Amino acid sequence: MKKTLEVRDAITGSHSERIKHLVVAIGKELKVPEQMVFDLKLLAQFHDIGKVGIADRILFKPGPLTPEEFKEMQRHCEIGYRIALSSPDLCQIADLILRHHEWWNGQGYPLGLKEKDIPLECRILALADAYDSMTTDRPYRKAITKQAAIEELAACSGKQFDPEVFESFLGVFAGL
């Protein structure tokens, strides 16, 4: 499955590897149990597996998505959830795949969960995913500096991101 996703989207493989290291570091900073660290590694690798079900014209669009295209892109969480449920190796993270775009303030998708109702693994992944996405070039925009990304994450702490996870991220980032 990982190879299928990498073939479909070359950006995903390197993105997954970078955020895997970051989620593990944040998890350890938060002193999560080893099983959660294992799940974080899997989640980092497969959180976007549902993108295999998204049309290329949307997935690789060089500009901003229309509201209809964005709604279609949001389906990748549910598609990924169904794929993970069908795999003995991924079924343990299926619920995490479904919830990985939830926001601390409840404005995320697909379920509108908020705060501690969002699994900690998803709160960790969301921050690592956003940081990596901002600091690497994308088809639709150039990367921003690490400092600018941290400032953006700080501005979104308490809205999109769990403030405690953000503080742990800062602790990890200070050690890099």
Cα torsion angle, 48, 53, 59, 65, sign: negative
Tens-binned pLDDT, residue by residue, of the chain (176 aa): 666 655 555 455 578 889 999 999 999 999 999 999 999 999 999 999 999 899 989 988 888 899 999 999 999 999 999 999 999 999 999 999 999 999 999 999 999 999 999 999 999 999 999 999 999 887 677 899 999 999 999 999 999 999 999 999 999 988 66
Query: In order of start, what are the domains of the chain with their CATH numbers?
Result: 2-174 (1.10.3210.10)
Q: Are 77 and 112 in contact (CB under 8 A)?
A: no
Report the pLDDT value the prediction gives residue 86, as an integer from 0 to 100.
96
Report the pLDDT value the prediction gives residue 74, as an integer from 0 to 100.
96
Report the pLDDT value the prediction gives residue 89, as an integer from 0 to 100.
93
Nearest CA-CA partner of 96 in 56, 139, 40: 40
Report the pLDDT value the prediction gives residue 175, as an integer from 0 to 100.
67
Q: What is the helix, strand, coil percentage profile of the chain, to 5?
A: 65, 0, 30
Q: Which long-range contacts (CB under 8 A, 24 or more apart) does 110-118 make?
A: 110/74, 110/77, 110/78, 115/162, 118/162
Between CA 122 and CA 161 the distance in angstroms is 10
Report the pLDDT value the prediction gives residue 90, as an integer from 0 to 100.
96
Output the pTM of the full model: 0.92
